[in-house]
Amino acid sequence: MKLLTQEQITAFKKFIDSHNSFIVAGHKEPDGDCVASSLGIARLLKAFGKNYCILNAGPFKRTEIRPYEKYFTSVLPKSFQKAEDAAVIIVDCSELSRLGDADPIITRLDTYILDHHKTAECSGNAIVDPTSPAAACIVQQLYEALVGPLDKETADILFFGLSTDTGFFRFLDTNSAEVFMAASRLVAAGANPRSTYDEITGGKPWSTRKLLGTMLDKAERYYGGKLIITTENLEDTRRMGSEGRDSDSLYQLLLAVEGVEAVVFVREETDKTCTLGFRSRNEVDVSSIASVFGGGGHKNASGALTEGTPGSLIPKIKEEFCKFFK
């Protein structure tokens, strides 16, 4: 992870000083890092006495983030619709399209982007660092540089975001010394690794365990076992429900199979669209494949929402993986 430069920190502080009201926005269907980085920036703004609202289109599907939903709004408050000096800070995302049905007012406001995705494309006011394992890491550096030592509540939420996007540090490699030093400061400020792990992994509905069994049963191997693809169709969703899905456990189980290099999860959203989840080990860059289907993300974890059915999409997905598994 690269540390923020003084120039980046100064530019962000200048942006904060230039406005009195802020809309903090993250991508739709938020995950733990999106939630944590949004709340972290909100606490930074609060320290500077700024007005803010935290906007997210939702839905808050994941079990671990539901307790935080009460801090967010899906509709821009009237006071911010009329605020002449309002600005937008977008976290864990760089595209307005990923915000969902964002209020058109947002597109006209001064905007700053804080993101860590490899496929992020933006210009102007932005800190985009693909070497950062989580947007929460960027927020932590800004908070420490501009506000000072972390309080326990801020440390708790930022550790939650960091733990979410690193798979509780499983996805980090040898270039992660700065990440662990940042994590140690969060723990020193009061973040509890054990309770955070329980928060992320516990409380799953029984139906999600049954659904995992169904998806494991449907899994098929390709390219001599290097690629695994599984599906969830509309009938599966009808039987098992859509609450508290636990695709992270699915990826973890399938990536642990001997010889596997990549896993793809194809989930039917409607009879004409599917969500695609891509995970990989080591050198397989699934963000390049996700981009083919209109998505993006990280080298080893990406996603997309695209038109098509599992039957029509799986052959195309297999074809894209030819570049890695010839």
DSSP 209-262: HHHHHHHHHH-EEEGGGTEEEEEE-HHHHHHH-STT--HHHHHHHHHTSTT--E
List beta partners, residue 86. 21
Give pLDDT, residue 245: 66
Three-state SS for 276? strand
Q: What is the pLDDT along the chain (326 residues), one digit of tens a residue?
A: 899 999 999 999 999 999 999 999 999 889 999 999 999 999 999 999 999 999 999 999 888 999 999 999 999 888 887 777 899 999 999 888 788 877 778 888 999 999 998 666 666 899 999 999 999 999 999 999 999 999 999 999 999 999 999 999 988 888 899 999 999 999 999 999 999 999 998 888 888 889 999 999 999 999 999 999 999 999 988 888 766 567 888 999 999 999 999 999 999 999 999 999 999 998 899 999 999 999 888 888 899 989 999 999 999 999 999 989 87
Instruction: Give the predicted TM-score (pTM) of the model.
Output: 0.85
Q: What does the pLDDT read at residue 112?
A: 96
Tell which residue, 272, 190, 167, 257, has the closest CA to residue 220.
Answer: 257
Amino acid, single-letter form, for residue 207? S
Residues 29 and 101: their CA atoms lie apart, in Å, by: 12
> Hey, how many other C-beta atoms are within 10 angstroms of the C-beta on 205?
15
Q: What is the pLDDT of residue 205?
A: 86
Three-state DSSP class for 110? strand
d(CA 90, CA 149) in angstroms, rounded, equals 24
Give the class (CATH, top level) of 6-200: alpha beta
Same fold, 6-200 and 206-323: no
Tell me which DSSP letter residue 191 carries: -
- Tell me the domain boundaries of the chain: 6-200, 206-323
188 burial type by CB count under 10 A (0-12 exposed, 13-18 middle, 19+ buried) = exposed
Dihedral of CA 266/293/125/59: which sign?
negative
How confident is the model at residue 50, as a pLDDT? 96
Which amino acid does the sequence have at 273?
A: T
Percent of residues in the chain assigned helix, strand, coil, to nearest 5: 45, 20, 35
Mark 26-63 as b/e (b = at least 16 C-beta within 10 Å).
bbbbbbbbbbbbbbbbbbbbeeeebbbbbbbbeebebb
Q: What is d(CA 287, CA 198) in angstroms, rounded to the nearest whole number?
A: 29
**What is residue 148's predicted lDDT score, i.e. its pLDDT?**
97
Looking at residue 173, its pLDDT comes to 86
Q: Where is 41: in which H helix or E strand?
A: helix 32-47
What pLDDT does residue 190 have? 98
Nearest to 298 by CA among 315, 275, 278: 278
Whole-number Cα distances in Å, 312 to 97, 106, 227, 289, 295: 25, 36, 18, 16, 17
- Please compute, for residue 202, the number of CA atoms within 13 A of its CA located in the half-sphere on the CB side: 6
Handedness of CA 277, 58, 153, 134 (dihedral sign): positive
The CATH number of domain 206-323 is 3.10.310.30: yes
pLDDT at 49: 97
Nearest-angstrom CA–CA distance, 21 and 249 = 40
